[in-house]
Amino acid sequence: MFEHATTADVGRADLLGESVHASAVAASTLLREVSGIAGIDGNDLDDADLISAIDRLERAKAACAAAQARLTAHFVESQARAATRLRAEAQACSDAGDFDGWVAACDGARDLELEPVAAETPGRHRRPARSDRRMTLSRTGVSAQVGLARRESPSRGARLANASLALVQHLHHTLDALAAGVLNERRAEIVVRCTSHLDPELRTQVDSEVVGAHLDLTDPTAPGGVGSWGDRELERRVRACADRLDAAAAVERCRVAERERRVTIRPVPDAMAVVSALLPVAQAVAVHTALTRAALSGKAAGDDRGKGQLMADALVELVTGQAVADDVPVEVQVVITDRGLLAGGDMPAHVPGYGPVPARWARELLAPGPSEDRPGDVRANVWVRRLFTHPTTGSRGDGQHQAALPGSTAPLRRRA
C-alpha cells in the first residue's frame, strides 16, 4: 500500500512538472495524496521496505522540487511580461507629462521584476552590494511572493527564483536529474551557484559536460554517475569545467572575491560565537598553518588542552596581543540582575550584540580567582556599573555607581 502511494506521488509530481498549467483540481488531488502519505507511520513494514519507502519519498521530494522550479520560472516570466507593459505605460506617462502616472507605473514595474537589469558585461557579474540587494527585495515583489509560497524569507525567495530560472532556461540536464530524483534540490542549487558567473551558452555546456554526460535516469546511484557524487565532488567538477571554459571569468571572480575579504561574527548556542574570516586562500592557509604550529608547540611543551583549544586560544592571543587568551583588554558588557549576580537567580543575563546567556555562566565568568581550565592564570579586574530601573515601567533611575571587582575576565554592566 505504501509503495503504491509513493509511486503514484512521484508520477503526479512528474506530471505536474511537465505541465505547469495543471488545473487547481489536479493540485488539490496532489495535496490530498501528500496529506495521506504524511499519516503513514510504516509500522507494518520491515527494514528493507522502510528503506525503499524512504528512497521513494526522497525521489518524490526531488520531483516536487523540479515542478516548483518550472512553476516558479513561469511565474517570474509572467511577472516580467507584466512589468514590461508597465514600463511602456510609464514611458507613455512621461511623454504625456503625467508625473503621478509615471511614478505609479515605475513602482508597479519594480514590484514585478525579480531584480534590476545589471549594467555590466554578461558573464562578468559583480556581486551586488548589500544595499543593492536590499533594494530589490520588496515586501510585495516577486521574491517576497516566492518566499512566502515556499515558507522562506524574501532573500531566500530571490535565490530560489533565480535558481528556478537558471534550471529551466539553461541547466536542462540538471533539471531532468532533479525531476528523476537523481539529484536533490540542494545539489541542483550547487550547479546553479557554481555556474552563475557564466554566459548562458557556457552555462548550458557545463551542464551538458558535467551532469548530462554522467546522468543515468534509470539508476540514481549508478557507480560513476552524478547521483553517486557527494556535494564536494559535484562542486569540484562543476567549478573545474566552468574555469576551463571561461578562464578569464575565473580570474576576475578571484579578483572580485579578494576585494570582498572580511571578518564576521555570529552567535551560536551555549554562550559561544563563531568568528569567520573570508581570506584569499594563500593567506587563509598561512593563518591555519601558524595556528597549527602554535598548537603543536603547546602540546610538545606538555599543555593539557586539546589541539582545537590551543589553536583557538592562540588565535585570540595573536590577534589581541595578550599573553593569555582570557585576559582580553576589550569591554565585554554583560547585563544581569542583582538577583542573578548575587543571589543565585536563574534569570538569564544578556550580552549586547550576542543575546541571552545563562546566569550561572555569567557568574562563573565574573567569579574572582583562576579559571577552571587554567588553574594558574590570574584574571583581570571587572568593573560593575549599578543601574536601577523602575520595576513596572522599566525607566532608568538617576543614580549610578561604578566599582571594581577584583579578579575576573571582563568588564560587566549590571542592571538591577
Taking a C-beta distance cutoff of 8 angstroms, is the pair 328, 410 a contact?
A: yes
Buried b (16+ CB within 10 A) or exposed e, 123-132: bebeeeeeee
- Alpha-carbon distance of 91 to 330, in angstroms, equals 57
Taking a C-beta distance cutoff of 8 angstroms, is the pair 341, 363 a contact?
A: yes
Q: What is the pLDDT of residue 125?
A: 46
pTM recorded for the entire structure: 0.66
- Alpha-carbon distance of 396 to 389, in angstroms, equals 4
Query: Which of the 8 DSSP states describes residue 262?
Result: E
Taking a C-beta distance cutoff of 8 angstroms, is the pair 73, 167 a contact?
A: yes
Task: Give me the DSSP letters along 370-406.
Answer: --SS-TT--PPPEEEEEEEE-TTT-PEEEEEEEEEES
- Alpha-carbon distance of 112 to 77, in angstroms, equals 10
At 191, which helix (H) or strand (E)?
helix 185-194
Buried b (16+ CB within 10 A) or exposed e, 158-168: bbbbbbbbbbb
What percent helix, strand, coil does the chain show, rounded to 5?
55, 10, 30
- Alpha-carbon distance of 361 to 363, in angstroms, equals 5
User: Within a 10 A sphere around the Cβ of 357, how many other Cβ atoms?
Assistant: 20
Q: What is the pLDDT of residue 279?
A: 93
C-alpha cell at 109: 514595474
Residue 270 burial (10 A CB sphere; 0-12, 13-18, 19+): exposed
- Alpha-carbon distance of 287 to 283, in angstroms, equals 6
Residues of the chain short of pLDDT 70, as ranges, are: 1-28, 30-31, 33-35, 115-140, 325-332, 367-416
Instruction: Give residue-wise pLDDT tens across range 183-204.
Output: 999 999 999 999 988 999 999 9
Look-up of cell digits 542592571: 415
Taking a C-beta distance cutoff of 8 angstroms, is the pair 58, 184 a contact?
A: yes
Taking a C-beta distance cutoff of 8 angstroms, is the pair 67, 150 a contact?
A: no
- Alpha-carbon distance of 343 to 134, in angstroms, equals 46
Q: What is the pLDDT of residue 338?
A: 77
- Alpha-carbon distance of 133 to 332, in angstroms, equals 32
- Alpha-carbon distance of 85 to 170, in angstroms, equals 25
Q: What is the pLDDT of residue 410?
A: 42
Q: What is the pLDDT of residue 19?
A: 46
C-alpha cell at 224: 560513476
Q: What is the pLDDT of residue 346?
A: 83
If DSSP codes are grouped into helix, strand and coil, which group holds residue 324?
Answer: coil
- Alpha-carbon distance of 45 to 72, in angstroms, equals 36
Closest CA to 335 of 349, 346, 355, 353: 349
Instruction: Give residue-wise pLDDT tens across range 84-112.
Output: 999 999 999 999 998 998 988 888 888 88
Query: Which of the 8 DSSP states describes residue 127?
Result: P
C-alpha cell at 74: 513561469
Q: Strands 382-389 and 396-405: what pairing?
A: antiparallel
C-alpha cell at 282: 594563500
Amino acid at 385: R
User: Within a 10 A sphere around the Cβ of 204, how many other Cβ atoms?
Assistant: 18
Look-up of cell digits 516577486: 142
- Alpha-carbon distance of 278 to 85, in angstroms, equals 43
C-alpha cell at 386: 549599578
Q: Phi, psi at residue 57, to the nearest 5°?
A: -65, -35
Instruction: Give residue-wise pLDDT tens across range 394-411.
Output: 555 554 544 444 444 444
